[in-house]
Structure 1
Amino acid sequence: MDKQKTIVVAHTILERGGNVVVIDKASFFGGNSTKATSGINGAGTEAQMRNEIKDSSSVFFQDSKKSARELARDDLLHVLTGKSGDAIKWLTEEFKLDLSKVARLGGHSQPRTHRGEGGQFPGMTITYALMEKLEDLAQSQPNRAKVLKKSCVTRLLQDNDLTVTGVEYEKDGQKFTELGPVILATGGYAADFGDNSLLAKHRPDLMHLPTTNGPWSTGDGHKMVLGIGGAAVDLEKVQVHPTGLVDPKEPDSKVKFLAAEALRGVGGLLVDNQGQRFCDELGHRDYVTGRMWEIKKDPIRLILNGPASRQIEWHCKHYVGRGLMKKFTNGFDLAKEMGVSSDALKKTFQDYNDIAHGKKKDPYGKKFFFDKGDEWKMDDTFHVAQMTPVLHFTMGGVEINASAEILGEQGTIPGLFACGELAGGVHGANRLGGSSLLGCVVFGRVAGDSAARYMLTENLNGKAAQRLGLLGAHVAGQPLETKVRIDPSNSKLTLEYSWGHQDDSNAGTSQPPAQSEPARQGDRTTAQMEPEKIDEPASKKTENKSEFTVEDVKKHTSKDDCWVIVHDEVLDVTNFLPEHPGGEKAIMLYAGRDATEEFDMLHPPGVIQKYAPQSVIGSVKK
């Protein structure tokens, strides 16, 4: 499958003593989780206590229920919010992640959205830490963890009792099967614009909108589950985020980057084309989007003053580097850019100051404002970007219970679990910012626990039945027969034993756990596959490479011929574009130029050498 929650599931099962095979149709783990920009929610955490934030899981539950409205599922919300503190603790202790900075997002009564002090996008930081540890485990303990990328699951396997027993998947044009309980973590359908589109079926009115999602968000898991009689809930509930960043060079692009909700959490204002506020910037996402559509005064701009910008400096610097945000040294230049008078913009700022200080009542009911001394004034610096509503998240999905078991018409579907965006009903009618990453971790852990418990129960029940059968045969006085089978092709020895001339299907077998199902004719099992090749170190691949001038690199700026510079190395990323987890556009913004500064904002050291060494074609000529 794919997405960050898959990695969470894998780590959880390994912690519980199980073995795991992770199947991902993409070249890299992470999915949309790597794009998460504001942080991960948690209530009652150490970071909150250090900052004297009085929060609890019960307060978080009430905030989430209010956002979910009439579609709130108390059982799922109790799991999400009640385990949120433990989720933060697990990430910080097991993966040594810094989640010490806490902010307030829209719809939250307390600051509870965690990110690191370093400023990097928390989604990428969290995902990379989990991914790196899992891949290390797959290398050091290949008998316990296996990672299969560029592999697409095509169907769920079931026995005569409709228990899910495994999956069939395709890799390199061949079919394979893998047996065991199945945890689906395939994400949502906010980029499902093709044939058999869930968006077209359930929300055709939103098909024209751009999306923040990667091309993998096509509802694959939903369609597989529905195909075997699984239940779905709230498929019409699609979250349209109010603050997609408009690229001035490509204003009509179908894929857009998200302006983190944390930009408003630190004090950013939304204004219309007349420079006037029109909403509570920290209202629920559907409310803010609705106001944007209602007033119809584009372009809508998000403005951060100096104090707000300094609280989230890294994000602003990143957006400016991508050409999606501008910096102004004073409000007069900003007013000129907006095409409004300086007096009009000044009045907006002064009115907001008066509201924040309690001198006026906010017509939009805003409750949370900037710190004292951070007033808005024309003599200040500003970061500004144009906003547009974007498809962002799907609250609808397959129906689950509080144990992350997928439901069908007759109750739970044995052997099948779901987590992350695929799991419907968790967020009701509207998701709170920061709860997407949280849902990945919490329900990823729950699904992993449930699947491990299911495996243990099935294993114990099977062995108990086997022992009873053998005992009965022994009491009946049948002679003991043993068979030893040796398979030289995979160095496997199988010992079979029975009393009398039992059918082989009832014989006892001693063999390693978690064997793959024999494939149908023409197919192969995972065990028959050749080990995935590991790229040779970049140090070998870059020997005797050419030198290029900066002017040489500037000539390669198209999708069919794209070069970039990172740390004085020249990369030909043409073939890598469709595999980049952040999408092609994330690289194309830097085509033909030095992307070192922006690259370092998102990526840890060594990522090129580990995942794309073949892209390095030379160095910059000094």
Structure 2
Amino acid sequence: MSQVIVVGGGLAGLSAAHTLLERGANVLLLDKQGFMGGNSTKATSGINGAGTDSQRNLNIPDTAQIFFEDTKKSARDLARDDLIRVLTGRSGDAVNWLQDKFNLDLSKVSRLGGHSQPRTHRGDAQFPGMVMTYAQLERLEDLSVSIPERVRIIKKARVTKLVKDDNGAVSGVEYTHGGKTEIAYGPVILATGGYAADFTEDSLLKKYRPEYWDLPTTNGEHCTGDGQKLAIAAGASAVDLEKVQVHPTGLVDPKEPDAKVKFLAAEALRGVGGLLLDNTGKRFVDELQHRDYVTGKIWENKKYPIRLVLNGNASKEIEWHCKHYVGRGLMKRFESGDALAKEFGLPADVLRKTFDDYNQSVRTKKDPFGKKFFQGEWKFDDFFNVAIMTPVLHYTMGGLEIDQESRVLDKSGKPIPGLFAAGEVAGGVHGANRLGGSSLLGCVVFGRVSADSAAAYQLQTTSAAIQKAGGRLSALAGQLSSTSSPSSPSPSTTSAAPAAPAAPSASGQYTLAEVAKHNKKDDVWVVVDGQVLDVTSFLPDHPGGEKAILLYAGRDATEEFNMLHDPKVIPRYAPDSVIGKVKA
């Protein structure tokens, strides 16, 4: 069977690639970044699922129908029942697939804003988006080495055009790689993400929501609407491009309050009981309402800065996140209510009354802001984790118009043969507002749906071509089983990504004082587990953004690194960054 081309190496593209392999198709994955993963690696709250094994183990009475109703309510007047039924109806299978196929821990289930049942799954140790994405990424890269005839990965490959045949079907892509323009043939799955960092000259964001142009974003700089623009140029229809979600809780770095790119405060922080307080020390909103509602209340209230406060119980429930944010200087820990009040610049009695009022709501279940779900009462004699919040560009609900089989539609509403879309590049799935926990779900569900559709399409077109060839069946079959056509790129330019070279032997030893001298953006060294790494050239490829590395420039980053990464990340993805060891 000939290849299916997947454009984009985030969770949607990876889920599509693995499903294609399950269906017997070959995969060519093209990603414009040097390190795949996309925004999926940043997702911090979890993945939604209804009727999952984890929910059953916890006796949570959730169903796909309940999830459907919650999602439809969030989507409001732009609800697409057909797409919502696919998203919610296949959600349980998606979560179970991740657990079964990739041996992931998704046993903890919480309730986020807008959900009537706890259904957002995560594990104990790390950010769930990173765990899910890396598990799939590592498995696919291993397969590209062990079965290169079936899996090819080309990084830093920017797709510039969709190729069509004489009948108007998409038959491949044109892309640039290593300074050359290449063509690859096969059905195409677009999984390129959204446009919430689209600050380019032909920005979709500026065209459809210019009032959001100056807002900070949580998105990596690669999220410039590439897939949307490619498909629209090829005749595709787009929907709801003005529907851009502004997340209420972006973390403000006190050292760089005006930074354009913000780190997201996981919605799970509010899900476990965190409260939003304004500069008077008072609540002003139901913290578990929909994202757009909470954002609107922040703008309406206008009493800045807004702080997210977690008490001891909430902090313990999501301890890893708090430790991570504190380590990055984005959150502070206070050991008492008096210390917290001092941070606010308020008398202690003001915060004490806020807690007393909230406890009354917990006891009576009658909250002045309409909150329905509570995580227990608050004590003034407790410890607290606190961060300053700001609304941030986060997710684009608009995108390419698709049907329930992930086929991209043209302006007349008909599927464009050979073109499919999955993840944030596809519009209409979440309507006017996306529920927390449904971004990763949309990637996995529609990644798998698009792969099913692309594999079926490829099989049908291949069979038709073989039948039409008649007496030339054998020769044509041989040609179709090849991974390139006569006008495809030469094997030397599209072969599978080679296995990561072995880490070089230590070329020297360095004192920590010597490492500390290399602390600038154009000269960055860090220490991890006693190894000295020169990560200067790796900065642009780091999926968590260059700031995550620069924070530890010239320092020992072992604790933070090991909180987030598997030990094999360095030898797999950055082996030549190791330049020596720390001198005893």
Could you tell me the TM-score, scaled by structure 2's length?
0.96
**Structure 2 CA distance, aligned partners of 1:585 and 1:233?**
34
Q: Please, which of 26, 34, 44 is the counterpart of residue 33 of structure 2?
A: 26
Counterpart of 1:86 in 2: which secondary structure?
A: helix
The aligned counterpart of 2:408 is: 406
Q: Which aligned pairs between 1:509-528 and structure 2 lie closer than 5 A?
A: 510-519=478-487, 524-525=489-490
Give how far 1:363 is off.
1.5
Counterparts of residues 214-363 of structure 1 (less than 5 Å): 214-358=220-364, 361-363=366-368
Residue number among 442, 458, 465 corresponding to 1:455 in the alignment: 458
Is residue 2:34 matched to residue 1:63?
A: no
Letter in 2 for 1:5: A
Distance across 2 between alignment mates of 1:577 and 1:298: 33
Q: Tell me the distance in 2 between the aligned counterparts of 1:100 and 1:536.
A: 36
Unaligned runs of 5+ in 2: 1-6
Matched with 2:423 is 420
Q: CA deviation at 1:554?
A: 1.9
C-alpha change, 1:532 and 1:18, in structure 2 (3 Å) is: closer
Counterpart in 1 of 2:519? 557
Question: Structure 2: how far apart are the matches of 1:515 and 1:318?
Answer: 44
CA distance in 2, matches of 1:163, 1:8: 24
**Which residue of 530, 534, 538 maps to 1:576?**
538
Q: Describe the shift of the 1:571–1:148 C-alpha distance in structure 2 as closer, same or farther (beyond 3 A).
A: same
Aligned to 1:479: none
Could you tell me whether the CA contact under 8 Å between 2:479 and 2:485 is conserved in 1? Answer: no
Of stretches 66-75 and 563-572 in structure 1, the one that deviates more from structure 2 is 563-572
Match of 1:39 among 36, 42, 46: 46
Larger RCO (CA under 8 A, 6+ residues apart): 2
Change (3 A) 1:50 1:534: closer
Q: One-letter code of the match for 1:369?
A: F
Partner-residue secondary structure (3-state), 2:481: coil
More off after superposition, 455-464 vs 61-70? 455-464
Give percent identity, aligned residues only: 62
Q: 1:134 to 1:515 in 2, by over 3 A?
A: closer
1:167, 1:525 → 2: CA distance? 15
Aligned-residue offset at 1:535? 3.7
* Residue 170 of structure 1 pairs with residue 135 of structure 2: no
| 1:537 aligned onto 2:502 | yes
**SS at the partner of 2:263?**
coil
- 1:190-209 alignment to 2 at 5 Å? 190-209=196-215
Distance (whole Å) between structure 1 residues aligned to residue 482 and residue 84 of structure 2: 34
* Residues 462 and 480 in structure 2, CA contact (< 8 A), matched pair in contact too: no
Q: In structure 2, what residue type is equivalent to 1:524?
A: P
1:98 corresponds to which residue?
105
Question: What per-residue deviation string (whole Å, max 9, x for no partner) do you get for residues 136-171 of structure 1?
Answer: 111111111111111111100001111000011111
CA contact (8 A) 2:164 2:171 kept: yes
Counterpart residue type for residue 423 of structure 2: G
Once the two structures are superposed, residues 303-330 of structure 1 have per-residue CA deviations (whole angstroms, 9 ceiling, x without a partner) of 0000010000000000001110000000
- The CA deviation at 1:337 is 0.8
Task: Indicate if the aligned counterparts of 2:218 and 2:263 stay in contact, CA closer than 8 A.
Answer: yes
* Number of residue equivalences: 576
Q: For 2:291 and 2:346, locate their aligned partners in 1 and report how far apart those are by CA, in whole Å.
A: 27
Identify which of 396, 415, 436 aligns with 1:433.
436
Larger displacement relative to structure 2 (38-47 or 554-563):
554-563
**1:2-41 CA distance string (max 9 Å, x none):** 2211111111111001111000010122100000000000
Residues 347 and 148 (structure 1 numbering): CA distance in 2 closer, same or farther, change over 3 Å?
same
CA distance in 2, matches of 1:36, 1:324: 17
Give me the whole-angstrom Cα distance separating, in 2, the residues matched to 1:529 and 1:22: 10
| Separation (CA, whole Å) in 2 of partners of 1:560 and 1:602 | 24
Match of 2:21 among 14, 18, 21: 14
TM (norm. structure 1) is: 0.91
- Using the TM superposition, give the Cα deviation of residue 463 of structure 1 relative to its aligned residue in structure 2, in angstroms: 2.0
Q: 1:618 to 1:212 in 2, by over 3 A?
A: same
- Once residues 532 and 61 of structure 1 are traced to their aligned partners in structure 2, the CA distance between those partners, rounded to angstroms, is 41
- Cα distance in 2 for partners of 1:321, 1:415 equals 47
Structure 1 residue 590 displacement after superposition: 1.4
2:130 to 124, 128, 133: 124
Q: 1:332 to 1:612 in 2, by over 3 A?
A: same
1:518 offset after TM fit, Å?
3.2
